[in-house]
């Protein structure tokens, strides 16, 4: 087995994102001291020449490839060309240069959106490429599937040690709370946080929030009417007219869909722990079929799902967040809006058999992320 030493040079691509920052925190906590980073302004991973120069000069021993262009349903469906082009370029450049420069092991991070739209549940690794993908994020999913195949192909042709992991829906520190682009869990936390402030007519809290992260260019300096209008655009509304209303106004938070879809959520620091565990303890040979003398079995589906193997309905999630945040108002499920896939649950048998299991249950994680958001 290939052992990662505490002074091994480790490059974390995408170190400021939700995934990368959690991996960096985990590595530092475990005493890894020789970590290498570049921000996107310092190194454009879409630029083949720049990536080649970086690898040639830095010569990392290990690589965590957590850099990607990511977004929710709307972004994925709107910027289809950007999502396929940028993700392919990033991973092609990093994986190829890892091979050229003799990197000992690489971990490529994808997403469970690689599985078919009508995938049997829970989703096992072998269900990859058995049916059509969800249309809205097909370009992103195709890029991630290409990354899995690229890692497998380089391992088979060149004997590299590149492993792919597919995390479920993640949430945690450094999450994206931009209501125009965020995923469901951080979006619900922010909407209910603002809803609660609106209930208590706590304009200071609302203005502070918008100053840190404006919505559609509206920040805390905007008028009360402008703020109410932009909050209304994102389904945070009050029964009282502008400027009127009393303490304890009835506030309503709209949630897209029926609330019935089931989703799985994993605390990002748990995910990072799984990634570091795999890099420390497992090699590509641990996820390939055993060979018999004279036979060459087909090697495919070598990626590893990372998740909890447990799911919750969007309605129950919303109520759990409502309780945690302390929002007293009404949750309105807008059935005119799309639900998306009704169930997406990972089968984590392979991961558990490799020796890792999640630690942070969802109620505890939501408490932790709301605490982080408030700070």
27 burial type by CB count under 10 A (0-12 exposed, 13-18 middle, 19+ buried): buried
Produce one character per residue of 119-152: b if its CB has 16 or more CB atoms within 10 Å, e if not: bebbbbbebbeeeebbebbbbbbbbbbbbbbbbb
Cβ-Cβ contacts under 8 Å for 270 (sequence gap 6 or more): 358, 359, 360
Rg of the chain on CA atoms, in Å = 22
361 burial type by CB count under 10 A (0-12 exposed, 13-18 middle, 19+ buried): exposed
140 given a catalytic annotation: yes
- CA distance linking residue 107 with residue 48, whole number of Å: 19
Give counts: helices (H), strands (E), the chain.
Answer: 12, 14
Under 8 Å between Cβ of 259 and 314: yes
Q: How many CB atoms lie within 10 A of CB 373?
A: 17
Q: Which of 11, 32, 62, 140 is catalytic?
A: 140
**Residue 350 tokens, joined:** 């392979």
Parallel/antiparallel/unpaired status of strands 35-36 and 10-13: parallel
Q: In what order do the strands lie in the sheet with 105-109?
A: 35-36, 10-13, 62-65, 105-109, 162-167, 304-306
- CA distance linking residue 338 with residue 178, whole number of Å: 20
Under 8 Å between Cβ of 171 and 265: yes
Under 8 Å between Cβ of 131 and 119: yes
- Residue of 204, 184, 185 lying closest to 194 (CA atoms): 204
Show which residues are catalytic.
140
């Amino acid at each position: 087995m290939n052992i990662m030493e505490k002074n091994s040079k480790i490059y974390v691509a995408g170190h400021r994102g939700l995934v990368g920052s959690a991996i960096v925190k985990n590595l530092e906590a475990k005493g890894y001291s020789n970590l290498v980073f570049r921000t996107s302004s310092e190194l454009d991973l879409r630029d083949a020449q720049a990536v080649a120069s970086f690898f040639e000069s830095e010569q990392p021993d290990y690589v965590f490839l957590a850099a990607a262009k990511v977004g929710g349903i709307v972004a994925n469906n709107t910027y289809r060309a950007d999502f396929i082009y940028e993700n392919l370029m990033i991973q092609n450049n990093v994986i190829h240069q890892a091979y050229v420069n003799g990197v000992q092991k690489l971990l490529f991070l994808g997403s469970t959106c690689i599985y078919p739209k009508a995938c049997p549940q829970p989703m096992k690794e072998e269900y990859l490429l058995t049916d059509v993908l969800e249309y809205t994020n097909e370009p992103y999913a195709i890029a991630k599937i290409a990354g899995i195949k690229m890692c497998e192909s380089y391992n088979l042709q060149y004997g590299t040690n590149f492993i792919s992991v597919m995390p479920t829906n993640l949430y945690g520190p450094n999450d994206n709370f931009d209501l125009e682009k965020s995923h469901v869990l951080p979006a619900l936390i922010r909407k209910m946080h603002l809803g609660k402030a609106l209930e208590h007519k706590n304009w200071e809290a609302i203005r502070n929030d918008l100053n840190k992260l404006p919505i559609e260019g509206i920040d805390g300096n905007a008028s009360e009417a402008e703020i109410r209008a932009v909050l209304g655009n994102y389904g945070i509304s009050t029964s009282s007219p502008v400027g009127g209303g009393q303490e304890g106004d009835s506030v309503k938070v709209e949630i897209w869909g029926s609330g019935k879809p089931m989703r799985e959520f994993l605390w990002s620091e748990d995910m990072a722990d799984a990634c570091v565990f795999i890099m420390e303890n497992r090699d590509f040979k641990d996820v390939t079929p055993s060979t018999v003398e004279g036979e060459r079995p087909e090697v495919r589906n070598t990626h590893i799902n990372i998740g909890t193997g447990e799911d919750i309905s969007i309605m129950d999630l919303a109520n759990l967040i409502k309780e945690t945040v302390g929002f007293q108002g009404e949750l309105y499920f807008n059935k005119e809006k799309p639900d998306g896939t009704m169930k997406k649950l990972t089968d984590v048998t392979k991961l558990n058999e490799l020796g890792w299991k999640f630690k942070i249950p969802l109620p505890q994680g939501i408490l932790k992320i709301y605490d982080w958001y408030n700070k």
